[in-house]
Amino acid sequence: MSKPRYTIAVTGLNAIDSPGPGVAVIRGLREAVSFDVRIIGLAYESLEPGVYMDEVTDKTYLIPYPTAGTDILFDRLMYIHTQEKIDVIIPNFDAELYSFMKLENKLRDSGIRMFLPTFEQFEERHKVNLSEFGKKYKLDVPESIPVTDSYEIQKHIAALDFPMMVKGKWYDAFIAYNAEQARTYFNKIAAKWGLPVVLQKYVHGTEYNVTGLGDGNGNTIAAVPMRKQYITDKGKAWAGISIDDPKLLEITRRFVSETRWRGGFELEMMKSSDGKYYLMEINPRIPAWVYLAVGVGQNIPEALTLLALGQNPPAYDKYDVGKLFIRYSWDMIVDRSEFENFSVKGEL
Amino acid sequence: MKINPNLAVSESGFLFNPGTGESFTVNPTGAEIIRLLREGLSLEQVIDAFTEQFQVDRHTFEKDLHDFSGILKTYNLLEKDE
């Protein structure tokens, strides 16, 4: 029986030292057993490696940054749609999700499907709101306080103590060991990602992450926990191993059923020395290490695509434990004309 | 003393704890001790087995085994109630 062939557009092609998830998502899609794919890359920069990886993207288009506004993004997506007849878009950046969520209905009317969290889910899990989120769903979270002025740091020192985490609302996190460092990181993060900046109680322990997929009705379609084996200076895993931890999976299922989470996600957890798990962050999209989940038997990009298309993929109930992913760098040789084409015409 | 039953132990002395993702390597002596403990031998029986098989005096081995079991406990490689 022949398989259907879907045209799927994917963002996050920046497979660099702090990689976007796009290339890993595409690898999962290309290994899907229930459909074939034509992959359309959506890139914000002309030097995103995925643009030039022929085995990854069939065609790539430049798209405008979220700051350009949703109207301009919509117009660009409609142009690409007329060329490519897109079935599904999988956005992979936190900072772009809001724009795509705003466009979800308009895009659906044009025949493009997505499977994204709701606005409520997106907002309440935001690290700015994490303390409230923990209380509401009875999940242990470290105390988090959003601040909009570096002078506010002083009054929260007693509650948080040092070291404390200083986090950007989208990306970046630093450990501050004194007030001076906290103020420096505050200014650095505020300049890059805007306000508020989040101060968070530091939790000593081992970091574990779970990637998964919720169907929007409270069911967990996929969940794979991983321990980071090695991290870069930006805190990104460059190696990790799948583990069997019933407690982590129980927390994940509770998170999905309580929030009725819709879409892919990553839970960043910290296991303290007394064995207690703290939910540090909820990323409302598929993480860059998702290919480990694919490799151990849970193809999250495939299942997410099926959900976006209105189908009901069965929930994965097992995965291989003790499998590692090890990330590596790879230099491509690209002709100047390709770079020129993409930079000038915005498509390749 | 019982070894965590989920612990994966290879003949090379490579240990993998699937619950935490941690891995360790032990030398052939450590691997043999773990093998015997997994077979259900008590610490006393492990001491008997080693002192019969190898040229080591009971007191020295007992002390080393005590240190080794402390390490196993520190790294959560024993059963939970141990």
A202: its two tokens: 């530091």
Residue-by-residue DSSP string for A247-265 = HHHHHHHHHHHHHT-EEEE
Residue ranges of chain A whose pLDDT lies below 50: none
Please give the Cα distance from A293 to A310 (Å, whole number). 22
Position B79 in a domain: no
Residues 6+ apart with CB under 8 A from A281: A127, A130, A267, A268
Among B15, B20, B23, B24, the residue to mutate for chain A (most A Cβ within 10 A): B20
A244 contact B CB<8A: yes
Which residues on neighbouring strands pair with residue A224, listed in sequence order? Answer: A211
Residue B81 has a pLDDT of 61
Q: What is the pLDDT of residue A158?
A: 85
Q: Which of A208, A226, A321 sits opposite B18 (nearest CB)?
A: A321
Using an 8 Å CB-CB cutoff, list chain A residues near B80: none
Supply the pLDDT for residue A187: 93
pLDDT in the model for residue A312: 95
What is d(CA A166, CA B45) in angstroms, rounded to the nearest whole number? 54
What would the pLDDT profile of A17-66 be if each residue is shown by its tens digit? 889 999 999 999 999 999 999 999 999 999 999 999 999 999 999 999 98
Chain B contact present for A249, CB below 8 A: no
The ipTM estimated for the assembled molecules is: 0.77
Question: Cβ of A244 and B8 within 8 Å?
Answer: no
Cis peptide before A196 (omega within 30 of 0): yes
Selected for mutation to probe chain B from A227, A272, A277, A289 (highest B CB count within 10 Å) is: A227
Reference A90, options A150, A27, A138, A136; nearest CA is A27
Residue B25 lies in a domain: yes
Taking Cα atoms as reference points, which of A304, A300, A287, A284 lies closest to residue A121? A284
Q: Are residues B20 and A241, on separate chains, in Cβ contact within 8 Å?
A: no
Please state which CATH class domain A143-201 belongs to. Answer: alpha beta
User: Which ranges of A129-218 would DSSP assign to H, the alpha helix?
Assistant: 130-137, 153-160, 179-193
Strands A164-167 and A173-176: antiparallel
- Is B29 a member of any domain? yes
* Neighbouring C-beta atoms of residue A345, cutoff 10 Å: 10
Using one digit for the tens of pLDDT, what is the confidence trace for B19-31? Answer: 999 999 999 999 9
Asked: is A5-115+331-345 a CATH 3.40.50.720 domain? The reply is: no
Of A208, A226, A243, the CB nearest to B18: A243
Tell me what pLDDT residue A283 has.
Answer: 94
B-chain residues near A245 (CB < 8 A): 19-20
Q: Is there a domain that residue B3 lies in?
A: no
Backbone angles phi and psi of B19, in degrees to 5: -75, -30
Domain total of chain B: 1
Kindly determine whether residue A322 and residue B6, on different chains, have CB atoms separated by under 8 Å.
no
Is the per-residue pLDDT at B82 higher than 70? no
- The residue segments making up the domain with residue B63 are 8-74
pLDDT at B80 over 80: no
For residue A164 the two structure tokens come to 């404390």
Hey, is the C-beta of B18 within 8 angstroms of any chain A C-beta?
yes
Query: Could you tell me the two tokens for A148?
Result: 């909009």
**Residues recorded for chain A:** 348
Domain segments of chain A as ranges: 5-115+331-345, 143-201
